[in-house]
Amino acid sequence: MTVVLVKGYPAGVSTDTRQRMVETAVRLFRSQGYAATSWRGLVAESGTPWGSVQHHFPGGKQELAVAALNAGEDVALGAIRIGFDKHSNPGEAIAWWFGKAQLLLERSGYEQGCPIAMLALHSGDPVVAQASRDALLRWRSALAERLADAGYDDPDALALSVLTTLEGALVLAKGLRSSEPLTVAAAEMRARFAP
């Protein structure tokens, strides 16, 4: 992948048209949701030419939203994997993941929440809503698998509880424009899964 400085686009961001569209969609959907993000705005914000947009996403905004969900899901699954690979204690692994979510939220000025939640809640599009549900179920499954490997009973319910805690903390942190909910949630995970 070639990375160069593009006018209006920060250094270090891919100049690949499709990738730029997906990265822009993830950012805009995370901050303003599906309905409030216009197709024209996505194209303008990504700095991509109209002709190539139709080439990469012939299904329009819906197809781009599903690609953005897949990208967001990959980030979350990667964070779960890295957290559990880095930490033998599940509480520390989950707290590390929550800390990464907190860092992203802070760096965005409390604008960028969960890469899936805004699409799951407000898409108004059944295809995007189903893709959101599928992504959340895969997060839960990946987390449950790690918790099962660590020897916990009912890992599926525990994984749901962890995701509920994370999503609730992200919503509160975004709404309050404060990292406190995520800090408290991370501490709660450390205590809950303490050896």
Report pTM: 0.82
| Closest residue by Cα to residue 79 from 188, 162, 192, 169 | 162
DSSP assignment string, 100-163: HHHHHHHHTTS----TTHHHHHH---HHHHHHHHHHHHHHHHHHHHHHHHTT-SSHHHHHHHHH
What is the model's pLDDT at position 42? Answer: 86
pLDDT of 4 over the 70 cut: no
| Closest residue by Cα to residue 132 from 144, 143, 117 | 117
The domain 17-192 is placed in CATH, from the list 1.10.357.10, 3.90.480.20, 2.60.120.430, 3.40.50.1400, at: 1.10.357.10
What is the model's pLDDT at position 18? Answer: 87
Cα–Cα distances in Å, from 46 out to 61, 65, 84? 13, 14, 34
Average pLDDT, the chain: 87
pLDDT confidence of 70, banded at 50, 70, 90? very high
Q: What is the mean pLDDT of residues 81-90?
A: 96
pLDDT of 11 over the 70 cut: no
What is the model's pLDDT at position 8? Answer: 40
Q: What is the mean pLDDT of residues 121-145?
A: 88
How far is it, in rounded angstroms, from Cα 182 to Cα 174?
10
Q: Residue 182 — left, alpha, or beta (φ > 0 → left; ψ -120 to 50 → alpha)?
A: alpha
pLDDT confidence of 123, banded at 50, 70, 90? low
**Where along the chain do its domains lie?**
17-192
